[in-house]
Each structure stands twice: as structure tokens, then as C-alpha cells.
Structure 1
Amino acid sequence: MTDTEPRTAPSTPTPTPQPMWRLALWLTAEPVSLIGDQIFFLAMAWTAVQAGGPKGVGLVLVAGAVPRALLMLVGGAVVDRLGPRRIAVSSDILRALLMIVAVTALAGHSSIALLMTLAAVFGAIDALFYPATGSLAPRVVPSTQLVRVQNIRALGTRAALLVGAPLGGLLLTIGGTSLAFTVNVAAFTLSAGALALLKVRTDQSDQPDREGMIRQIIDGLRYALTEPVTRNLLLLVALLEFAVNGVINTAFPSLAADRGWGAQGLGWLVAAFGAGAAIAALVLITARRINRPGLLIPGAALTGAIVLALFAGAHNRSLVLALSFGIGVVGGIVGGIVIPLIQTTTPPDLLGRLMSLFGIATIGTAPLSIAAAAFITDQAGLRTAFLYASTLTLIGALACAASSSVRRLQIQHPAGRSS
């Protein structure tokens, strides 16, 4: 490939055609599994606060988050070795079985140590589930449909996040943890069944079995660090997610309190962000073509950096809501295009490890991003916190804009069209 040629995807077999009902079941069942995640951690937090107060909640949530983050790379290597569908189905089955164990274990007592153990096991299983589900789409649908399918998945994920916590609270009110975990058994079983029905291109990785797990992980990290497209796109996603997670979870509550808008104002801020992300996903789903994605991604990130900086001096509620909506749009555009690009530019035998790195960049760093934003807000104030988030996003945008490999990226569209 010469420097003037556009970046193209690796040559991979076309996924096996399958009926729409199977795809619809998969795209519906995956959010159901994510709702199960939300219900589980809400139930654990509620039980922990009764057993050990706020400190107990912190310990239990950390016990679930740390194994998920630390083992995500291992999970990606396992996915590349054994195949994503097999690992995704197994993960759902293991979580369903864990729910049955949790119902029995928590029937007599609910010590913090027991809750931490259950949360740690659940987090370790999640470290397998996320790379597996993230690697499925390129094996299920043609590359020309990846943007559309990934943004449908994004809408499902956001719906799951909105529904999971309220549903969990309702279940806890009606029947306690026993009912919540019983519903989770059904949710994870449904997800496993839907995944098992999918026809994927292959369930066996091209990676030779003789290669050790550590070596596989090192190979995945080396590829991510040396391949310019992957390196810069992952850097942008990591910095943008780090910035936005901190803003939403720390700066937004402080902003609503500082302006005297109260809890209702905070709710509107978060809702505006979610609406922006949903609108971006809908646009990408319905778009017939996406022109120059390699320029659109850094352009959107640069816009996000400007919007985050404008928060620092904004006091009018309508303006702040518009800015929150704008950040949601930026996040939706970047995530909705970057994931398909990573999936189509990554060799199939490395996809699980790359999606595990994407999971670390988005899910794994969330506790650190919230802690960093909270510290900056407390020590230097809201203005500095927003400028800090803006700077992180700007660095990611400039890294992508400076990469000729990223700028030349193309997305294949139906009927052989590319952009």
C-alpha cells in the first residue's frame, strides 16, 4: 500500500447469510443481558448499604469493577482462541448460574465479604462477555452493514442503561434480591439462547492453539501500539470517554448544584446528553453513506473539545442543555463510526483482543475518570474541570487529525460504494 492509497479492511470471508428474525433476536437479547448487569449491581449496592453502609457499597462495586478491568485483555485473548459466540454464550450461562448461587447464598446472610466475592466473580465473567459480544458483529453481518448494526446496538445499550436501574429498583421493592436475581436468570438465559441461534462466520479463531495466552496478549498490545489507525482511534476513544465520564458523573452534579438547578436540573442535563447520543446513532443508522470518516471523526472530537470548553463560562440553563446535547452528539458520532472502523481494519484473529482494549478504554477506565474529575473539581473548581476535559478531547482529536492513515480511512457501503 502506498502513502496515497486509502486504508482498506483486511480480506475476510463474508458472514453466512441469516434470517432477519435471528438478527432481530440478537439485537434485542443483548440489551436484555445488559439490563441484567444493571439489575445485578443495583441489587448488590442496595444489599451492601444495608450490610455495611456507604463504605460497604464502595467495596462491593470496586470488587466487581477491578476484575472486569484487569481481566479484559485475558478475555480478549480467550475470545480469539475459542471464538466469540462460544464465549458469549458461556458467559451468559455462567452469569445465570451465578444468579442461582446468589439467591441461595444471600438467603441466610449478606456479609460484605460474600457480596464482594459474588461481585468479583460477576466482574470476571463480564471480562469475557464484553470482548466476545464486541467481536460478533463482523462475523454476523457484511462489512457494508457494520455502521448501521453497531449504531442499532448502541441504541439498545443506551435503552438498557435507562431501563435497567429503574427496573432493578422496582424488583427490589416487590421481592428483594431473590426476585431481582430470578429475573436475571431469565435475562441471561434469553441472551444465551439468542446468541446460540446466530450463524457466525467461524467459531474457531485462526490463532494457533500452541501459542501461549501471554504471548497472545503481548501480540495484541503490540498490534494496537504499532498500527497507526488502531493506535490513534483507541487513543481518541479513551481520552474522550475519560473526559465525558468524569463530566457526567462529577461535573454535571456539581454544576447543577452550583447553579441552583437541583436534582431536576441534573436529570435534564443527563437526559440532554443521552438524547444527543441517540440522535447521532439514528442519523448513522439511516445515513446512506458516510463521507470521509477519517476526517469526520477528528472533526467531531475537535467540536467536542470546543463544547466542553464552553461549559466553563455557561450559566444560562438553555445554553448548558444545548451544550450537553452537543457532547452527546459528539460521543455518538465518534463511537458509532470508530467501532466499525476498528472491526473492519483489524485482522479477524486479533479482533477479540482489540475489542477488549476498546472495553478497557470505555468501561475499564470509568472509575479512574470519575475519581480524577472529582479531585480536579474539588481542588480547582468547575471551570478547570471542564477545561481539563476539553484538553483531553483535543489531544485525541489532534492525534487522529495528524495521522494520514486515519485521514484516508474509508467505510464500505452497500452496492460497492465507499466513502
Structure 2
Amino acid sequence: MSTATKPAGRRPDAVSAPLRRRPFRLLYAGQCLSRTGDFVFQVSLAGYAITADNPALLAYALFGQASGTVLMLLVGGALADRLGARRVMLAADAARAVATCVVALQVAGGVESTWPIALCGLLLGLGDGAFEPAFTLAFTELLPKVELLAANSLQSIALRTAGIAGAALGGVLLAAVGAALSLGLASAGFTLALVMLLAAGRWPTRERVSSGDGLLKEASGGLRYVAAHRWVWVSIASFGVSVALVVAPAKALLPLTTSDVLGGGAGVYSLIVGTQAAGALAGGLLVNRLRGLAPGVVVFGGMTLVCGGFALLTLSASIAVSVGIAALIGAALSAATVAWAATLQSKVPAELIGRVSSVDWLISLGVSPLALVVVPQLLAFGSAGTVLLVASLIALVVSAATALVPDVRRLTWARPEL
């Protein structure tokens, strides 16, 4: 493809390489804005729900968003593979801009009914579910395989930075201009992303020949591919175990563990979470330097470190040590997820990337709420620290074993095109 020519005089695998391509640069800048806006939206809506003394409003909005995301992920990848990433992303950004704008108007009008907010949350979630597989596919349409790791590294940096900046900006805007204007500015992030995607123009894509099958049957092609390739289903299943046993439950268990072991309150927990976020930012930036290691080692070696880190957090009695472990967890998790995204994009056939990505997202998102429901039941059998320690050790063994699976171990990075 014409957009994938090698930039002259520069390393094609350098972190900055994808940014030298105008369509990717505009897509990336737009998503930096929209993801920041997404965090502003979350903080602003939460602040409004607290001020209005209506916690159900936030719960319904989040439930609608989660439901919409999962529903759309069932077919979102098939839509991206059928229509192309750009069309689907344009529709997704438009849906999210409308949903967040309507919420801002409802808040400005003093509407406190939960159902209109929930419907907007559903529309926002449908946009999210359509966007993510298409965004994964867009990388492969815009970039050569050798630049995919760098592009995903940039994406990780943007996401972490957006989380930090968006949460802070949301709090400032909420205090300075109120919930309605703050939510309106969050909607502007999605609108600007849409404008930048339009400005990027059309880009070359592979020719798509319709299979003649319905969308749901076409979507099942992703499941069939995953089931037929051991490196894919083993990897996705392993990630699912880590998310279900460690990553998701830690959100509920780690605050209790911190209090029990370190004797600290919310301030200590906030310090650990903040340090983990800083580590994740560093991990996303540095993962491109790990090309000397096989992808399977980076991905599941990283997940092994993540699980081991959470196990150590349950045992550490030193705040300084816990902070250092948290930074390692953040860096390892970021490096593992970036390397996994690049591997999936470079190894899966182009015509199936959207659908396989949908399966990957479904597993990750699907096990999280289930884990958070099961966790409180386990506390009847032991303390939060004990439950997290046992779960982390089980996931550690699974992650380490995954790195040894022959098909996973033999994965290689894409090489520069000559």
C-alpha cells in the first residue's frame, strides 16, 4: 500500500515512525482528544450524580455503556472487516459525540431521570464497541507491520496520559464551569476526533469481497479463526485468566489489602495507583526497545511479572517497596498489552483482524464484571490479601506456562521491508 513505504533515513521501527505518516498522525491526534474527553465525561457525570444526590443516574449510565459495548463487539469486528476501519470509526465517533452532547443538554436542563441517561450510555457503548476493533484494523491499513509495535506503544502512551489529564481536567472543569459545560467539552473531544478523521482523507485498503453471509454468521469467522490457531486461543484464554483472577479483582481487593498490610488509608492506595499509572506510561514508551526478545516472552513474561507483582504487594509491609512494585506492575502490564496488540495485528490475516480483535475484547471485557461479582463471595474464606495472593499465584503459573507453549514461543516480530 502506498502509505506503507519506508521513511527515508530513519529507523522504521522507531517509536516516532508512525507519526511521520499524515493519516496516522491525524487519527492519533484525534484519539488523544477523544480519549481525554472520555475521562472528562466520566468524572463530570460522576460529579453531577453526587451533586444531584442521584447515584442511580451514574450506575444506569455505566450499565448502558457496558451493555452497548458488549453487544456491539459481537458484530463490530465484522463491520470493520466488511466496511473498512475509517467508515466504522466515523460512525462510532459520531454516535459518541451525539450521546455525550445529549447528556450535557439533559444535565443543563436539570433532567434527573435515569432512563434518558441510560439510553445515552447505551449509544455511547455501541460507539465504543464499534470503534475499538476498527481502530485495531486501522493500524494495519495505515502502517507496515514493522511499525505496528511503535504505533501501539504510542497508543498506550496516549491512553495513560489521557487518563491522568482527563481525570484532572474533569475535576477542574467541574469546579470551574459546572457539570453541563464540562460534559459539553467532553463531547467536543469526540467531535474533534471526527473532524480529524475526516481531514485524514481516505486511505488505501484491501479490496473487500462480500461473502454473502449475514453479519452474525460473518462475525463467527473470528471465533473460527481463534479456535483453529492455538497461539491465538491459548493467548486470549491466558489473558482472560489474568484479568479474571488478578487485574479486575485487584480493583476491589487492593484497597483492603493496602489498609491491612500497610496500615494506610486512601492516601496510600492513591499513591500506589498513581505510581502504577506512571509505570504504565513508561512501559508503553520503552516496550519498543524489547524487540530483542520474542513477542511471546514480552507478552507473557510481562503478564507473569504483573501477577507476581500483585502477589508481592499482598506481602509487602513497606510503602516504598510497594510503590516500586506498583511501578513494575504498570510497566509490565503496559508492555505486555502493547506487544500483544502488535502481534495480533501482524499475524492475523488482514481480512479477519477486526473480527479476531472483537473476540479478544469480548473475553477481556466479559470476565471483568463476572470477577467483580465473585470476589466478594471469596472473602468469606479468607482476607482480601489472602484471596489476591492465591489468585495471583494461580495466574502467574498460567502466564508462565503460556510463554512455553511452542506456538507462542515461536512467534516473531515483523521485519523491515526491503
TM-score bracket relative to the smaller structure: 0.7 to 0.9
TM-score, structure 1 normalization: 0.87
Partner of 1:384: 387
**C-alpha separation in 1, matches of 2:94 and 2:363:** 26
Partner of 1:44: 45
Give, in angstroms, the shift of residue 101 of structure 1: 2.7
CA gap of 1:375–1:246, structure 2 versus 1, over 3 A, is: farther
SS at match of 2:69: helix
Partner of 1:277: 280
Contact 2:100 2:124 (C-alpha < 8 Å) held by counterparts: no
- 1:308 corresponds, among 302, 310, 330, to 310
Contact 1:237 1:335 (C-alpha < 8 Å) held by counterparts: no
**C-alpha separation in 2, matches of 1:99 and 1:55:** 18
Give, in angstroms, the shift of residue 271 of structure 1: 1.9
Partner of 1:7: none
**C-alpha separation in 2, matches of 1:236 and 1:155:** 24
Partner of 2:119: 117
1:313-359 Cα shifts (integer Å, max 9, x gaps): 22122222222222222212211211111011111111111222232
1:44-96 Cα shifts (integer Å, max 9, x gaps): 33334455643443333222212212321211111111111111112112222
Matched, 1:101 2:102: yes
Contact 2:246 2:307 (C-alpha < 8 Å) held by counterparts: no
SS at match of 1:412: coil
1:243-281 Cα shifts (integer Å, max 9, x gaps): 443354112211232222222211111122122222222
**C-alpha separation in 2, matches of 1:117 and 1:128:** 17
Task: Give the letter aligned to residue 39 of structure 1.
Answer: V
CA gap of 1:362–1:176, structure 2 versus 1, over 3 A, is: farther
CA gap of 1:185–1:63, structure 2 versus 1, over 3 A, is: closer
Partner of 2:242: 240
Give, in angstroms, the shift of residue 33 of structure 1: 0.9
**C-alpha separation in 2, matches of 1:354 and 1:74:** 11
Give, in angstroms, the shift of residue 167 of structure 1: 1.6
Percent of residue pairs bearing the same amino acid type: 23
- 1:191 corresponds, among 193, 215, 225, to 193
CA gap of 1:204–1:175, structure 2 versus 1, over 3 A, is: farther
Contact 2:310 2:388 (C-alpha < 8 Å) held by counterparts: no
Would you say how many aligned residue pairs link Structure 1 and Structure 2? Answer: 402
SS at match of 2:35: helix
**C-alpha separation in 2, matches of 1:256 and 1:401:** 33
**C-alpha separation in 2, matches of 1:127 and 1:241:** 19
CA gap of 1:86–1:415, structure 2 versus 1, over 3 A, is: closer
Give, in angstroms, the shift of residue 179 of structure 1: 0.8
**C-alpha separation in 2, matches of 1:300 and 1:335:** 9
Give, in angstroms, the shift of residue 30 of structure 1: 0.8
1:201-229 Cα shifts (integer Å, max 9, x gaps): 54576251522111112111111122112
Contact 1:32 1:191 (C-alpha < 8 Å) held by counterparts: yes
Partner of 1:143: 145
**C-alpha separation in 2, matches of 1:122 and 1:203:** 27
Give, in angstroms, the shift of residue 295 of structure 1: 3.2
Contact 2:283 2:331 (C-alpha < 8 Å) held by counterparts: yes
CA gap of 1:57–1:288, structure 2 versus 1, over 3 A, is: closer
Judge which range, 123-132 or 150-159, deviates more: 123-132
CA gap of 1:49–1:98, structure 2 versus 1, over 3 A, is: same
1:6-155 alignment, distance < 5 Å: 15-16=3-4, 19-50=20-51, 53-106=54-107, 107-155=109-157
Partner of 2:263: 260
Partner of 1:226: 228
CA gap of 1:257–1:179, structure 2 versus 1, over 3 A, is: same
CA RMSD between the two structures = 2.5
SS at match of 1:411: coil
**C-alpha separation in 1, matches of 2:360 and 2:369:** 16
Partner of 1:158: 160
Task: Give the letter aligned to residue 283 of structure 1.
Answer: L
Q: Return 5+ residue gaps in structure 1 as ranges.
A: 1-12
SS at match of 1:380: coil
Partner of 2:13: none
Contact 2:294 2:412 (C-alpha < 8 Å) held by counterparts: yes
SS at match of 2:404: helix
1:138-158 Cα shifts (integer Å, max 9, x gaps): 111111111111111101011
1:362-401 alignment, distance < 5 Å: 362-377=364-379, 379-381=381-383, 382-401=385-404
